[in-house]
Amino acid sequence: MSSAPPSSSIFDDVDVSTFPTSNASLSDHARYEHPLVQRYATREMSAILSPAMKFTTWRKLWLALASSQRELGIDISEEQLNQMKDTLYDVDFDRADAYERRFRHDVMGHVHAYGDVAPLAMPILHLGATSCYVGDNADIIVMREALTLIRTKLVKTLDALSKFADRYKDVPTLGFTHYQPAQLTTIGKRSTLWMHDLLLDYVRVCREIDDLAMRGAKGTTGTQASFLELFDGDHGRVKRLDEMVCEKMGFVDAMSGRAKCVAVCGQTYTRKVDYFVLSALSGIAQSAYKMCGDVRLLANLKEVEEPFEDDQVGSSAMPYKRNPMRSERVCSLSRYVMSLPATAAHTHANQWFERTLDDSAIRRIVIPESFLAVDVILNLLMNIGDGMVVWEKVVERHVMEELPFMATEVILMECVKAGGDRQELHEAIRVHSMAAGAVVKGQGKSNDLLERIAADPLFGAVHDRLHALIDPRLFVGRAKEQTREFLEEEIMPILEKEKEALGKAIVDGVNV
């Protein structure tokens, strides 16, 4: 027997039409807004992924196709090309949408919208091409532009972190393994671990940019049959058309000077390319999550804090809190980005023969969202790296709480050198260590191991230099030198090579 539903609910009237029209603000916000765009994304990445970028790129591709066809002997006039050039940015989106609703086809909608403002060119627009000529080639172009912006922000992040690493390269801190105190390192050395991950991401992104090739002018199923018909069976001109389009759109190998066109394709370029790109973005998200996870743990220890504004509120209920909200946001967005390569893998695997359309909707979502999220992540990393605060006295206190245990081997060896019995000394240190540990854990008091050793005549040989033996700087190995070498040999050459990118201003920041 089922129970009757409640007679009324506060949700019964959730319908846009029920919102009061007198409240214009409420009415304007009565539709879902994507938080990546509305809350987080920068204007620069949003512009790269925008409809304006997409559809003006379509027009540039049509112009590249038509101008190349004219150069190869097709009857296309200079007037037709000039009209196309003059109206590249004259996009009537409402008219294109109306055409799309009429034809149920986005490419044909924009062909007709372009033809309306360039009527002389209408007869030769999209000549011999398939929808993927503009769709796929534009996607590759947009991804290259977005990856280039990501590369710039990776460089800026490495620059901010390099300054932090250099500043703290010789400040000892507890190392942690299993999140338990371990051999000392330095704050700067630890930050090089974050940088090394991001350095690998930089190399991967550079490779993806270099490897990207256009689909080119390959025809409906990749055989170029329509273009072969257009050029009366002249294979040479068809091959050259493919190359010329790619060259006009800036896809040329820097070393060989040859056009960067995919060698073969079906109707689309292989969707494995999307998987490679999303994997590179996932790599950045992984590195960011690791770094910010460390920052969050260090914030709990009160050793490190991310930037905190004067009027920033850490908690609505607990005004004293200084939550690591930037790092938490990085981890939140990174978790999403890391999940997306699997979607791209399934999309590629499920492309039957020359093409199926089940790739379309998902790609419209996951590719832009990956770039938008990583763009935000890197802006946050730049902000954290540039303004991270280290509370050195807290770091030092934590070091000194654990260092006596770590220094026992040095103390033992020095006493043996002075003629002591190694086994007797070892047993004495073990007993003192257990007692000191019981004081720390059982009574909540400070570590008194050094006091116990100082009071034991067995260790008389080192009593006058006991504190010198536990100088934290003696226990960090080559951390300082490793940090300096890493910065000089690995990071500085990249920063030097990318001076132009470092000089670029961020168009607008992220809501940090």
- Of 20-24, 242-246, 254-258, 265-269, the least confident: 20-24
- Please give the CATH architecture assigned to the domain spanning 408-469: Orthogonal Bundle (1.10)
Q: How far is CA 301 from the centre of its chain?
A: 27
Q: Which of helix, strand or coil describes residue 389?
A: strand
pLDDT (mean) for 150-173? 97
Number of residues that this document lists for the chain: 512
Closest CA to 377 of 156, 184, 85, 162: 156
How much is the pLDDT for 503? 86
State phi, psi for 266 to the nearest 5 degrees: -90, -135
Higher pLDDT, 278 or 462: 278
Q: Which fold has domain 49-127?
A: Fumarase C; Chain B, domain 1 (1.10.275)
Structure-block tokens of residue 35: 């938080």
pLDDT (mean) for 25-38? 76
pLDDT (mean) for 473-495? 97
How much is the pLDDT for 409? 81
Q: Where are the domains of the chain?
A: 49-127, 133-311+321-387, 408-469
CATH homologous superfamily of 133-311+321-387: Fumarase/aspartase (Central domain) (1.20.200.10)
- Of 36-45, 205-214, 265-274, 472-481, the least confident: 36-45
pLDDT at 24 over 80: no
Catalytic position from the list 7, 9, 17, 178: 178
Structure-block tokens of residue 42: 């920068």
Distance, CA of 225 to CA of 222 (rounded, Å) = 8
pLDDT at 137 over 50: yes
How much is the pLDDT for 3? 55
Share of the chain above pLDDT 90, in %: 73
pLDDT at 287 over 70: yes
Task: Confirm whether pTM is higher than 0.95.
Answer: no
Structure-block tokens of residue 210: 């270099």
Closest CA to 388 of 83, 164, 181, 175: 164
How much is the pLDDT for 449? 85
- Of 104-108, 239-243, 335-339, 409-413, the least confident: 409-413
- HEC profile for 258-317? CECECCCCCCCCCCHHHHHHHHHHHHHHHHHHHHHHHHHHHHHCCCEECCCCCCCCCCCC
- HEC profile for 171-207? CEEEEEECCEEEEEEEHHHHHHHHHHHHHHHHHHHHH
pLDDT (mean) for 342-359? 96
Distance, CA of 370 to CA of 74 (rounded, Å) = 41
pLDDT (mean) for 183-190? 97
Half-sphere exposure of 27 (CA within 13 A, CB side): 7
How much is the pLDDT for 18? 56
Share of the chain above pLDDT 70, in %: 90
The DSSP call for residue 126 is T
Mean pLDDT of the chain: 91
State phi, psi for 177 to the nearest 5 degrees: -125, 135
pLDDT (mean) for 203-231? 97
Banded pLDDT at 22 (limits 50, 70, 90)? low
Beta bridge partners of 177: 180
- Cβ atoms of residues 446 and 401 within 8 Å: yes
Same fold across 49-127 and 408-469: no
| Beta-strand runs (E) in 52-106 | none
pLDDT (mean) for 219-242? 97
pLDDT at 469 over 90: no
Higher pLDDT, 442 or 135: 135
How much is the pLDDT for 510? 46
pLDDT at 511 over 50: no
| Beta-strand runs (E) in 105-179 | 172-177
pLDDT (mean) for 344-370? 96
The DSSP call for residue 505 is P
pLDDT (mean) for 282-298? 98
Q: Is 426 a catalytic residue?
A: no
How much is the pLDDT for 316? 46
Banded pLDDT at 29 (limits 50, 70, 90)? low
How much is the pLDDT for 113? 97
State phi, psi for 32 to the nearest 5 degrees: -65, 140
Banded pLDDT at 321 (limits 50, 70, 90)? low
Catalytic position from the list 27, 34, 235, 315: 315
Distance, CA of 174 to CA of 195 (rounded, Å) = 19
pLDDT, tens digit, for every residue of 412-449? Answer: 888 899 899 999 989 998 998 899 888 888 888 888 88
pLDDT, tens digit, for every residue of 84-129? Answer: 999 999 999 999 999 999 999 999 999 999 999 999 999 999 999 9
Beta bridge partners of 116: none
Cα dihedral 160→161→164→170 (10° resolution): -150
Banded pLDDT at 140 (limits 50, 70, 90)? very high
Helix (H) or strand (E) holding 390: strand 389-390
pLDDT at 392 over 70: yes
Look at the alpha carbons of 258, 263, 268, 272 in this order and tell me if their dihedral is positive or negative: negative
How much is the pLDDT for 35? 87
Residue 130, CA distances (Å) to 221, 268, 277 in order:
9, 10, 24
Q: Is 334 a catalytic residue?
A: no
